[in-house]
Amino acid sequence: MAIAAKSILVIVDVQNDFCPGGALEVPNGDRVVPIVNALSGKFAEHILTQDWHPPGHSSFASTHQGRAAFETITLSYGEQVLWPDHCVQGTPGAAFHAELRTDGASLIVRKGFRAHIDSYSAFYENDQKTPTGFTGYLRSRGFEHLYIAGLATDFCVAFSALDARREGFGVTVIEDACAAIDRQGSLAAAWDNMGLAGVQRAHSRTLLGSHAL
């Protein structure tokens, strides 16, 4: 399968806290690292996203008295899953996986850095109104299609893919270059929503055989 013209690879949150042993570990999260490293060489450009929370972030269960991780709470902008403390700015858990090749990335989009609002998507925070500026970057650089890989399929990958479609970009999620949290059917729901939104799916094998544009 040829890589679409005017494409960019978006590598979502391949950080220690989302890998085995991390604070919010994604099963097999580290398995995406060699795949993502191989893929990045196939694209003219790739960027990274980095979950980047201040201590006491509103998405942390520990911030809300009597609440436990993985419960849902209503915040000013709507429903929010509460997470274990993770990806705290400047901590080893927030660092990229040691084997992830980061030097070739042209941009790092940090998200979730405001204390009172979470941001799963690389485009909009969880109020679905506050932009990160990523759309402007992509438009002014002339990109039309995003290939998305990374963690977690059912949260930051899916929210980024759905917002990218809403912003008018073509989107392909590279299935085996992603790994999921998958709680309470979240992975199946994410694939359903992505399918309805016109997100395409690909396997890394089919892309690694093709030429970068």
Of residues 71-110, those binding Zn ion (CB under 5 A): none
Between 3 and 26, name the residue whose CB sits nearer to ligand VGL: 26
Would you call 156 a catalytic residue per the annotation? yes
Query: Among 133, 132, 126, 194, which Cα is nearest to 166's?
Result: 194
CA distance 116 to 153: 24
Question: Which x/- pattern over 19-58 shows residues binding Zn ion (rule: CB under 5 A)?
Answer: --------------------------------x-------
Would you call 13 a catalytic residue per the annotation? yes
- How many Cβ atoms sit within 10 Å of the Cβ of residue 205? 11
How many residues at the interface with ligand VGL, by CB under 6 A? Answer: 9
Candidates 62-70, 152-160, 183-191, 204-212; binding stretch for ligand VGL (CB under 6 A): 152-160
119 neighbors 60 (Cβ within 8 angstroms): no
CA distance 112 to 114: 6
Integer angstrom CA distances of residue 115 from 63, 112, 118, 133, 170: 10, 8, 8, 18, 32
Q: Does 10 interact with ligand VGL (rule: CB under 6 A)?
A: no
Q: Does 147 interact with ligand VGL (rule: CB under 6 A)?
A: no
Give me the residues that bind ligand VGL (CB under 6 A), please.
13, 18, 51, 83, 120, 151-152, 155-156
Q: Any idea which residues carry the catalytic annotation?
A: 13, 111, 156
